[in-house]
């Protein structure tokens, strides 16, 4: 199956010149969604993560079923103020400002936990890099990254730590 044929491009969204990669068309296709999760699981299984981390919100869509498929736990990384217990947080730079991500303090248990970070897309790598820093600060072992889509020209892969990086579709 060619996953790329299930991803719709929306021109000039959210601003002129951007070719937005819309995964909603992939998500609504039962065979395409199943194939995507199965393929991600196949490509990351040798990393044997204890936990899959997905970033709000599209990382949840792929991260939770991937964790299930791998027999791993799922840990959400959220925007500020969304998690009810004590959190670790990290501030990171966006193209036009700053943002922050948070994870429950009791979610990560070093030193033996192995973490896989999953998201729908890697562009500049800012969110994935910030999430990796949260994992590293916890003392857990980051074993890799998995993305459905990689926008290669934006160089996000080069900003990430030196662990395996899997992407299913490259633009």
pLDDT tens digits for range 72-118: 999 999 999 999 999 999 999 876 788 999 999 999 988 779 999 99
pLDDT 10s digits, 42-79: 999 999 999 999 999 999 999 999 999 999 999 999 99
pTM as predicted:
0.96
pLDDT above 90 for 152: yes
Residue 91 bears catalytic tag: no
3-state secondary structure the chain: CCHHHHCEEEECCCCCCCEEEECHHHHCCHHHHHHHHHHHHHHHHHHCCCEEEEECCHHHHHHHHHHHHHCCEEEEEECCCCCCCCEEEEEEEECCEEEEEEEECCCCCCCCCEEEEEEEEECCCHHHHHHHHHHHHHCCEEEEEEEEEECHHHCHHHHCCCCCEEEEEEC
**Does the annotation count 78 as an active-site position?**
no
Catalytic residue, candidates 8, 28, 56, 58: 58
Active-site position among 9, 46, 95, 158: 95
Q: What is the pLDDT of residues 1-19, one digit of tens each?
A: 999 999 999 999 999 999 9
């Amino acid at each position: 199956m060619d996953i790329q044929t299930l991803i719709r491009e929306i021109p000039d969204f959210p601003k002129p010149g951007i070719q937005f990669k819309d995964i909603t068309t992939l998500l609504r296709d039962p065979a395409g969604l199943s194939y995507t999760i199965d393929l991600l699981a196949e490509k990351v299984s040798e990393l044997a993560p204890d936990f899959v981390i997905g970033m709000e919100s599209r990382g949840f869509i792929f991260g939770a079923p991937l964790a299930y498929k791998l027999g791993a736990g799922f840990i959400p990384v959220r925007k500020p103020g969304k998690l009810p217990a004590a959190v670790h947080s990290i501030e990171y730079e966006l193209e036009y400002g700053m943002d922050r991500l948070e994870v429950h303090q009791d979610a990560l248990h070093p030193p033996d936990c192995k973490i896989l970070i999953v998201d729908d897309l890697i562009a500049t790598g800012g969110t994935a890099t910030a999430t990796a820093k949260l994992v590293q600060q916890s003392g857990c072992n980051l074993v890799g990254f998995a993305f459905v889509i990689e926008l290669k020209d934006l160089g996000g892969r080069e900003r990430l730590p030196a662990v395996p990086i899997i992407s299913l579709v490259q633009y």
